[in-house]
Structure 1
Amino acid sequence: MSSVLSNYTELQELFLNISRNDNSDTGAKANGFWINMQRYDFFFMLSLLVKLFGHIDTVNIALQRKSLHLEEANKMISTLVTSITFMRNNLESFWGEVTSKCQDMDVDFPKLPRRRKVPKKYDDSINSTVETFTEVCDKYRRLYYKTMDTSISFLESQFKTQSFMFVNQPEQFLLEADYFPRSAAFKLGSNGQRSSCLSFHDTLLHRSDIELLTGPYWLNDTLISFHLNTYKGVIHESKRLLFIGPEVTQCLKVSPFEEINVFLDPLNAKEYKYIFLALNDSDIVETTGGTHWSLLVYCKLEDTFFHFDSSSGFNNHHAKVLADGLSKYFSPIAKSVFIEAPSLQQTNSYDCGVHLLCNVDHIIGVSKQCKSLRDIGLVNRMIVNTKRMEILGLIETLSERVNKNLMYIVCILSDLLYPLYTMHGIVH
């Protein structure tokens, strides 16, 4: 559908040419397609479904991951429902956007449907239920809300079922137990050594992720997200620092300006003084990936984007694309300033992610004392050289907390859940 929408005018011309030059059934069908594409109803509904399915497809791809656990899936669906609800409350913006595009395309302007006469064989009671619209937008408002409400209702009916919640509750108890700060699910491998995994906030670390810290390997998006999530547990300054992980940053980079608020408004992003974005050079919509990490920081007080790149110039284009889109969101009147900030340069091809995290640490440490991020100086190279071991130590500490309490939790769960499993016929 997105391909149809992005090539709408070209398809109109194609169908019109076929209908004029082909007198067969193919020409008649092409004429029918061309007539439909001239109707505002068709264009409105196509635009709506492309916008809606864009969010649904992103979550659908994420739900196919083999490493996904129920709690993570539940959060994805909740976030999707929140996004659709937010879209539902922004009909006026969508209406204005679609209507303005009609002026540039061969699409009829919206108008009230012709009122049809009710056949005499129907009585007055039925006649009174015939739907009429007094304003041209009333019809499309009803269609818009019905589409959104149906989508939300379907998602909740599929993922908020009694069976889903029954299975999810034990897992959620393990992942969010108050015995340790939202970290859990650490387990032993068959050889007695620690293997996957550690769950912390919205990030699930596997053994393969942790092994990237032990050698000359490029840090993946999971490790970047994990480390950014650790700041949430130790930084309590209200509305000062906001950390946006690779997944959301990627969505912001590839999304049109009109959809940026869907990601940032639920985070109340405009209320924060500093916003940290983990940026990579990938152009793929569905995944993060890429070959190089850098850090983009927005300073609200200076209305300036600072780009910290450990391989100077490598991510400049991607950083400017992201900053241009966000600038319209944070500063709609005047374009925000973009600065390539001085950054310690990496001495190998794989430590860009480490530099990103060290830059975050450095900015957090000195931002209170410095009036501008222009004056923060460079990261100490010794800190970069020891960062991998620091992260491994943090993972070890969190894992030990889990290990001390895991057996106690399992015993409690066994006593609590055995009657429920017996009741549902899971055990006999």
Structure 2
Amino acid sequence: MAPFGVGGRTVSVRLHRVAGMLHLGLTGGIGSGKSTVARRLAELGAVVVDADQVAREVVAKGEPALAQIAERFGDHLLTEEGELDRPALGRVVFGDPAALRDLEAITHPAIWERTARLREQARAEGARVLVHDMPLLLEKDMGAQYHLVLVVDTSEETRVRRLVEHRGIPEEDARARMRSQVSDAQRRAAADVLLGNEGTPEDLAAQVDRLWAERLTPFADNLVAGRAADRPSVVQLADPDPIWPGQADRLIARIRHALGDRLVSAHHVGSTAVPGLVAKDVIDIQLGVAHLEDADDPAFVEALTAAGYPRRLEIDHDVSKDDTPWPKRYHLTSDPGRMTHVHVREVGSPGWQWTLLVRDWLRADPEARADYAAMKREIVAADGVWARYPEAKEPWFAVADSRAQEWARRTRWQPGED
């Protein structure tokens, strides 16, 4: 029986991050080496919740779910020892949508209850890192529910060879199983961390060890302390990177998951949202709230902090362009591997609108984009100290504001959602 029911049908599931604990989703195609990564993470100190194991446990002998299955589908699905006859159950529900729905109505609640219990147990025992080893993570659209998604990336040919040689699975059966899963391209697009596994187990373990030391441990420590990751002291401009928009989409999805209906809008803004523009390797996200006071609600602040975005109290406004106050709230990331700035503004406020206007103007106007890039390079060449960089750009924005406003009038610009 496949985890979370037979047949891998997509269902709506929702996990909640446990405050102060780094929650990782681990996935990969069949034969990718995902289990090897899970074992190494456990050796390093993570608590691993194996979705396949949980799915087996909830229908073990003596479990309420097994009794419900026997009641719904018949005692003939039990072996003489009282265990579930999985192949027989598969024959009953495959090709019968109603039977499959009934089975999932029994197994899914039990699976998520046990998963939540294991997660809470890990927290109570002081775990810093929890790994959810979840083969169908992408099929069930669960990426937003973790702080990070780790994908073990292995070519199809390598996986087929390993399945044939190590598990004795016929080649056509191996390829058929792969066709039933999401594509390698989809996994890569969903990954915050890609662990390549074309080499030896030792090579893979070395990657996991580096990830643990350089990113996971400091990220977990920052979550426990409720603090932001260290930022560089000097600005380095990066060439435009096509992966920035996808990274922003994943971060926004996680923030939406954390805040729910407290969030009105969310946009990727700043230089990494402008194709073709050099930028600091920082994802800027603008969150829109109905009233700025909503962003001061302790539940709002706690949800963002648990998601890995603690508040920075010393920044509470933007530089106004119309001599009126432009208040905002500001959060940074706890993740040392993906620098992120989160700006919370009231929807429709001057600061909220101006941020979207400048982004869209720079996207549309090559000359403005070139001017802005040249100014950035001049500042970095002359000084480049991170703490002084935002202020050093303000004179350019003060002059550019009239150009952006004129472009908005000419094009009848309105704030959009992209």
The TM-score normalised by the length of structure 2 is 0.25
The TM-score normalised by the length of structure 1 is 0.25
Larger relative helix fraction:
1
Larger relative strand fraction:
2
Which protein, 1 or 2, shows the higher relative CO under an 8 Å CA cutoff with sep ≥ 6? 2
Higher Cα Rg: structure 1 or 2? Answer: 1
